[in-house]
Amino acid sequence: MSYRERVGAQSFSFSGLKEVMAKATPMRSGDALAGIAAGTAAERLAARLCLADVPLQRFLDEALVPYEADEVTRLIIDTHDRAAFAPVAHLTVGGLRDWLLSDAATPEVLARLHAGITPEMAAAVSKLMRNQDLILVARKCHVVTRFRNTIGLPGRLSVRLQPNHPTDDPRGIAVSTLDGLLYGAGDAVIGINPATDSLPALIDLWHLMDDVIGRFGIPTQSCVLTHVTNTIQAIERGAPVDLVFQSVAGTQQANTSFGIDLAVLKEAHEAALSLRRATVGDPATANVMYFETGQGSALSANAHHGVDQQTCEARAYAVARAFAPLLSNTVVGFIGPEYLYDGKQIIRAGLEDHFCGKLMGLPLGCDVCYTNHAEADSDDMDTLMTLLATAGLTFLMGVPGADDIMLNYQSTSFHDALYLREVLGLRRAPEFEAWLLKMEITDPAGRIRPVSGTHRLIEHLGAARLPA
């Protein structure tokens, strides 16, 4: 089906829904690189006018990536919940935007809608929204998950403690973990990006984190962010695995480039559940997966099928949603300026990703980050993390000094989380909050206390003694 629209004296035509979606997208370098971006602001406006009139039902009838050729498309269509979709089934994309911004779209109503929204619908409506619209609606979407604590409750922000080390040195990891805990970080997960793929070395990292969590009764979970097949092997060898990690993308071909498919994710999900390590809720049905995504991943694998990168990103959320993860996050500026050129594009992409994930019922966090060759800086990241925290962000990263010495990119620090808590009044996961108070790391108001060099965490983790 073709689409036509006039803007002033100019007339524009689009060959199908895929082209309308791509050209309605706010400008970003990845879509320009793929040759699918609007050529002018007028063409972008024409595409948005067309998109606003598209019935939501069209996205169930006109697949952007062929059903027969792509298992992600089959997942989206085959698991679509018609009953959940029914309250908005009569709407157009523009009508959905208006409804989402209305008082009728309460948190309770939106929670019932999650399974009825496809990623293409979420991406489409986001293209018609201003930044403030994305923030307002995402803030109304509450997605709560549980493992050893409860994540995603309104008014709370969790932090992934990220103690990466370029050689996986246990002492370096322990010191970074100590640093984060003493700043009140780590309630989302203590998650290490390993430098090695050596299975014995990976298992050592799992044991290191399990020892710290177990010895001090920390109500949090650990994760080694290695390939899912390594984690399956580690589980088979008896490693103390809490969460299974994997990067995922929005097309079958892109996931193949990652060395995964839906079957291997299902195998990993079942293996992690079999360990029954969760302590909050029923361990047999706990949230045991952790996924990362990023705009541009499908394009970088030449696996985007002509679909714009933001819609491909939303399709990755359908993959993640199918396995009920504890955590998922967009690594928004990590892939580089070829896909998100500058701070403006990174900020917009972060807000889009958070909105789409939350609207689909995903516990979405964000690695608010940029690479050193992007046209962005820490001021841009301050803006994005403040906007996302206002929008109800599930979690963000806590990296010592905000500079990841293993992955060589700029992220957010333990101090950034303290700033957000102070300015916006955001609290930690309730179980972790109580533990910090018990350990005398925070005061009853949740503020960080000074600690002496004899604090038991410092003594156990072998860090250099601090002045009393």
Instruction: Please report which confidence band the pLDDT of residue 467 belongs to, taking 50, 70 and 90 as the band edges.
Output: very low
Pairwise CA distance, residues 260 & 255, whole Å: 5
Q: Which amino acid is at 129?
A: M
Q: What is the pLDDT of residues 128-183, one digit of tens each?
A: 999 999 999 999 999 999 999 999 999 999 999 999 999 999 999 999 999 999 99
Q: What is the pLDDT of residues 385-434, one digit of tens each?
A: 999 999 999 999 999 999 988 888 999 999 999 999 999 999 999 999 99
Instruction: Please report which confidence band the pLDDT of residue 462 belongs to, taking 50, 70 and 90 as the band edges.
Output: low
Instruction: Please report which confidence band the pLDDT of residue 465 belongs to, taking 50, 70 and 90 as the band edges.
Output: very low
The pLDDT mean for the chain works out to 96
- DSSP code at position 427: B
Please, are residues 192 and 164 in contact by the beta-carbon 8 Å criterion? Answer: yes
Q: What is the pTM of this model?
A: 0.96
- Encoded tokens for 20: 């309308």
DSSP three-state, residue 275: helix
Q: What is the pLDDT of residues 186-203, one digit of tens each?
A: 999 999 999 999 999 999
What pLDDT is stored for residue 234 in this prediction? Answer: 98
Pairwise CA distance, residues 356 & 345, whole Å: 16
Pairwise CA distance, residues 377 & 343, whole Å: 7
For tokens 């600690």, the residue is 451
Averaged pLDDT, 107-112: 98
Q: Choose the weakest-confidence range: 23-27, 351-355, 385-389, 407-411.
A: 407-411
Is the pLDDT score of 468 beyond 50? Answer: no
- DSSP code at position 26: P
Is the pLDDT score of 330 beyond 80? Answer: yes
Is the pLDDT score of 241 beyond 90? Answer: yes
